[in-house]
Amino acid sequence: MSINSTSKKYRSFLLLLIFFFSGFAALIYQVIWQRWLVFYTGISSVSISLIVSAFMAGLGLGYLAGGQLADRVGKNRPILLFVLAELGIGVFALVSKSIIYDWLYQSNALEGGSNFQIYLILFLILLFPTFLMGLSLPLLSKAFEEKKSENQANYISLLYFTNTLGAAAGTLITAFVLIRAIGFENAVRLGASFNFLCAATAGVIYYFETRSSSLTSTEITSETLNLEKKQTIFSWNRNFIYWIIQYTISGFMAICFEILWFRMIETMMKSLALTFSIILTIYLAMMAIGTYTGVRFAKKFKGNRLKLFLNAQYTLYIYTIGSILFLQWAVSDIQALSFLFDYFKSYEALFTPKIVLSTMLFIPLFLMAVPTFIMGFSFTISQLIIQDKFDEVGRKVGWLQFMNIVGSTIGAWFVTLIGFNYLGTALTIKSIGLIGLIYVVVLHRHRFNSLFSRIIMAFSLLLAVFLLPTNEKFWMKLSGMTEKQNFILEEDETALSFIKIGGDESLVFINGLGQSMFPFSKDKTHITLGAIPALLHPNPLDIGIIGLGSACTLFNAGGRAETKNLDCFEVIVNQPAAVYEYIKRTKDSAAYRIMKDKRVNLILQDGRYFLHRNPKLYDIIEADALRPKSSYSGNLYSIEYFQLLKSRLKKGGMAITWGATGRIREGFAKVFPYIYEIDSFMIIGSSQEINFDEELILKRVENSFTKNYYSQANINIKEVLVRVLKTKKVIQNGVTMQTKRFNSDMWPKDEFDFGRVWAKILGENDSYL
């Protein structure tokens, strides 16, 4: 081996290594920028789809432009452009907090509007960094010229492998380590340092490649110029158009299954902050492993690569449908897995080793590992088939990845707006699964496999799709229910709502996690949250409640005749429909009264978003109890949120939160000078001292409106009031706390602090609050 070839090998390896860190940084940004942009858009599946679509659009345009540039700029220049791209990404990352959070959100610089207007704003904000990210793969695909087209395809696949593996590591480490240890802003700075490191290292490679090049600027001949001119001609043959279609279908399928897997696994996990990161890590890691396996396998494989590719694609679809079908059957019919059925039925999240390993590792791997492995494997095989001319490498990679992004964008909106809203999860899975028949048809057209095999393949896929149950039965299995008449299901793009009707009590669930219950008289926590502040306040005209649930908090907040407006903010759009269906089936008069109360104004959007955008003032504002480990809970427990509450209170107004952790309590105390604890869990804050004259407060419950109101729900409000007033503690009396121990928008420590959870797992405790 010559010195030049050895040097080239090391430089190639070094480029692969830095592309790992480029992928790592990209996922730091995706995870954190999405969190920051949600402050501007509000929390909802639609807003998150808008953010993801805007992110992907920039990547797609970058892929397209990168492919064109890579084939036109000449030898070694793609590496130089990669250096500039990494520098640009790093610079944007350093100012991203100022742009996205400070300018776009805090200063209300750009008003939203329709979904299209919001999308356009997000697209323009993210275009610069995502465009530069998209440039990278096509550019590096042309960094080195291999003598054999097969080696060039393998090099592209190795680039894809290292970048995807870096992305998987970035997702995992960001969620489990970086956010917890250093917060959002410092994590983004770390990502920027990776980009600068990549740029510096690639710059060194560019220097040595240019120096060692046998062709210098003074040696350019007419023959070379003719060659460069020739390289601009791109052959749009029929085979390449077929691959364009395939990559579009592949992108559509991949994002559809990813979103569907997320809904299923989130519901089985019971909606934790780490759910998305766990799913995305498995998705990316297995895709990376599949890509690398494809490179190794292809070196020994002597058969027809197209046949291999088509059979792999069919296997992806049949396994995806079959694994979901098997899981549906297994959790209810296999005795050894009965603990899962019981867990799905339960109200709280449990953190025993068996539950954690099953829901966070084994089930996600079972559902996702094989299909995502095949996705990566298929990428390698397809590149080996497609890449036959070095002059067209960049454009082929660029066009294929661009169309893959187009398919992904269409798929994201199909599942979000059509699948969840009109078809339901089960029928959406069936619809996507039927795409697998395309590969059976293509196998038949090429006469690959025997006729009998092709018939069996088509029949097996159709049978698996047919056997998948209806949407209601599908979710009954994954929520631990067996009796259809006791199960209420509402599903749309925002979430999955269940109500499980029981004899003495009926439980309300959002994405598998218990939220509240019926009848209202049974729900002591939400009685306290709703009724006590309303009875403490001397004149609660306007009350804001964040979260509907069963409407128990809302009902109990409405017990004063003085109250004229009850604004209830609910981000789960289908939740009112679930409550109305419960009322229809059970004739619950208290629930019916509050849902039909003329004072109630249901505002179906993110409560924090509404308060930030609207100057309306309230006498009482409270967020219904949200577990600190739930997704996006940090947005309702941060010091910035508490400051927002303070700015939206009238004189003498009260803010109420659940004091679930020390950080929440201290952050609350840093904002409000007067802090009171009620019933050991509810924290009331105000800028003015609250009058706890017990005689005066008890007198309020003797009001005829109040007595009749609570008696309709069989709530002995006087008994409740006497009990909880005895638990009152003055936490702070006129002076705000000076503390650094709190949650912030830039560092939601409680949401991502799973140290106590792991301790409970190791100690085999059965529950976690």
* Best CA proximity match to 551, nearest among 526, 531, 581, 533: 526
| Interval 577-618: pLDDT, tens | 999 999 999 999 999 999 999 999 999 999 999 999 999 999
CA dihedral of residues 270, 272, 278, 279 (deg, nearest 10): 50
**pLDDT higher than threshold 60 for residue 435:** yes
Quote the pLDDT of residue 760.
58
Q: Indicate the helix (H) or strand (E) that contains 48.
A: helix 45-70
Quote the pLDDT of residue 166.
96
Quote the pLDDT of residue 209.
78
Single pTM value for the model? 0.92
Contact between 578 and 497 under an 8 Å Cβ cutoff? The reply is: yes
- Cα separation, 680 vs 728, whole angstroms: 8
Average pLDDT of span 107-128? 83
Contact between 31 and 236 under an 8 Å Cβ cutoff? The reply is: no
Cis peptide before 353 (omega within 30 of 0): no
| Pair of tokens at residue 144 | 């080195």
- Cα separation, 112 vs 99, whole angstroms: 16
- Cα separation, 219 vs 231, whole angstroms: 19
* Best CA proximity match to 154, nearest among 306, 289, 18, 298: 298
Contact between 543 and 566 under an 8 Å Cβ cutoff? The reply is: yes
Quote the pLDDT of residue 694.
86
Contacts with 167 (C-beta within 8 Å, 6 or more apart), sequence order:
23, 24, 26, 27, 284
- Cα separation, 244 vs 161, whole angstroms: 21
What does DSSP say about strands 682-686 and 649-658: parallel, antiparallel, or unpaired?
Answer: antiparallel
| Interval 68-105: pLDDT, tens | 898 888 777 889 999 999 999 999 999 999 999 999 99
Quote the pLDDT of residue 226.
47
Handedness of CA 195, 199, 201, 202 (dihedral sign): positive
* Best CA proximity match to 314, nearest among 261, 253, 264, 363: 253
The residue with greater pLDDT, 461 or 393, is 461
Average pLDDT of span 547-564? 96
**pLDDT higher than threshold 90 for residue 693:** no
Number of alpha carbons in the 13 Å side-chain half-sphere of residue 654: 28
Please report, in angstroms and rounded to a whole number, the separation of the first and last CA atoms in the chain: 63
Quote the pLDDT of residue 74.
75
The radius of gyration computed from the CA coordinates of the chain, to the nearest angstrom, equals 29
- Cα separation, 503 vs 662, whole angstroms: 37
Contact between 556 and 520 under an 8 Å Cβ cutoff? The reply is: yes
Question: In terms of C-beta distances under 8 Å and separation of at least 24 residues, what long-range contacts does 703-709 make, across chains too?
Answer: 703/560, 703/561, 705/560, 705/561, 706/535, 706/559, 706/560, 706/561, 709/558, 709/559
- Cα separation, 303 vs 312, whole angstroms: 14
Quote the pLDDT of residue 765.
46
Q: Which residues does residue 545 pair with via DSSP β-bridges, in sequence order?
A: 568, 622
Per-chain mean pLDDT for the chain: 90
**pLDDT higher than threshold 60 for residue 230:** no
Quote the pLDDT of residue 342.
94
* Best CA proximity match to 20, nearest among 86, 78, 92, 66: 86
Quote the pLDDT of residue 769.
38
Average pLDDT of span 306-310? 96
Residue whose entry in the numeric block shows the structure tokens 């808008």? 50
Average pLDDT of span 263-283? 91
Average pLDDT of span 525-553? 95
Contacts with 619 (C-beta within 8 Å, 6 or more apart), sequence order:
537, 539, 540, 541, 542, 543, 649, 650, 652, 653, 654
Quote the pLDDT of residue 112.
66
Average pLDDT of span 509-518? 94
Quote the pLDDT of residue 219.
45
Question: Rounded to whole angstroms, what are the CA distances from 445 to 102, 382, 459, 714?
Answer: 57, 18, 17, 70
How would DSSP label each residue in 115-180?
HHHHHHHHHHHHHHHHHHHHHHHHHHHTSS--SSHHHHHHHHHHHHHHHHHHHHHHHHHIIIIIHH
Residue 544, φ and ψ in degrees, nearest 5: -115, 125
Reduced to 3 states (helix: H, G, I; strand: E, B; else coil), residue 421 is helix
Contact between 384 and 150 under an 8 Å Cβ cutoff? The reply is: yes
Residue whose entry in the numeric block shows the structure tokens 């939740």? 575
* Best CA proximity match to 743, nearest among 214, 266, 183, 358: 183
Residue whose entry in the numeric block shows the structure tokens 């050894």? 336
- Cα separation, 471 vs 493, whole angstroms: 15
Quote the pLDDT of residue 238.
87
Q: Indicate the helix (H) or strand (E) that contains 472.
A: helix 471-477
Contact between 751 and 334 under an 8 Å Cβ cutoff? The reply is: no
| Interval 732-759: pLDDT, tens | 999 999 998 999 999 999 998 876 655 5
Average pLDDT of span 287-310? 94
**pLDDT higher than threshold 80 for residue 276:** yes
Quote the pLDDT of residue 756.
60
| Interval 278-293: pLDDT, tens | 999 999 999 999 999 9
- pLDDT class of 147 with cuts at 50, 70, 90: low
Quote the pLDDT of residue 223.
43
| Interval 436-458: pLDDT, tens | 999 999 999 999 999 999 999 99
Question: Residue type for 587, please?
Answer: K
| Pair of tokens at residue 369 | 């590992």
- pLDDT class of 109 with cuts at 50, 70, 90: confident
| Pair of tokens at residue 139 | 């550019």
| Pair of tokens at residue 70 | 């890579």
Average pLDDT of span 615-623? 95
Q: What is the DSSP letter of 469?
A: P
Q: What is the DSSP letter of 391?
A: G
The residue with greater pLDDT, 146 or 306, is 306
Scanning 334-445, the segments in alpha helix (DSSP H) are: 338-345, 353-357, 363-386, 393-413, 424-433, 437-445
Contacts with 447 (C-beta within 8 Å, 6 or more apart), sequence order:
none
| Pair of tokens at residue 768 | 């976690």
Question: Residue type for 408, please?
Answer: S
Q: Which residues of 406-429 are buried (b: 16+ CB within 10 A; e: fewer)?
A: bbbbbbbbbbbbebbeebbbbebb
CA dihedral of residues 365, 367, 371, 373 (deg, nearest 10): 0
Quote the pLDDT of residue 638.
95
* Best CA proximity match to 376, nearest among 206, 219, 160: 160
* Best CA proximity match to 669, nearest among 734, 591, 585, 605: 734
The residue with greater pLDDT, 373 or 154, is 373
- Cα separation, 579 vs 488, whole angstroms: 9
**pLDDT higher than threshold 80 for residue 9:** no
Number of alpha carbons in the 13 Å side-chain half-sphere of residue 169: 16
